[in-house]
Amino acid sequence: MYEQLKLDNQVCFRLYTASRLITQTYRPLLEPLGLTYPQYLVMMALWEKDNQLVGELCRRLVLDTNTLTPLLQRMEKEGLIIRTRGIADGRQTLVSLTKKGLHMEEQAKDIPTCMTKCWQGKPMDLGDAQRFVENLDTMIATLKEATAGR
């Protein structure tokens, strides 16, 4: 067997596993809000900056339009967001929070703290976590650049 093909030697497998486990950990925290993890990501992006074009959200969330659009459609049906056509360019769609979506931020404010408690006191302290995030950001930026022309 080729050593480089062993599952234990794959960074991607660890990232995939961590991603799945993080999503599973978020699930019970998001259920009372009626949000899925991808919807939560959209909401955080809109709480940070409301009234964004779909293209801006795609870039911010690193999602394709054909992935984000059905998600936004469901969120609009649930009364969390409103989608409107751009005034200057009717081909663009602006995404805005509704009152319900805005009020949900208050309900969600403790979720990051709850997630941090999941690993608090474990081998990864806050400083380690911040360095880990910086390393992941570097990896993401490098991969985005490498795949930009594809």
Confidence at residue 123, expressed as pLDDT on a 0 to 100 scale: 61
* Three-class secondary structure of residue 38 per DSSP: helix
pLDDT: which is higher, 44 or 1: 44
pTM of the model: 0.85
CA distances from 125 to 11, 30, 132, 134 (A): 21, 24, 10, 14
Q: Is the pLDDT of residue 120 over 80?
A: no
Report pLDDT for 121. 59
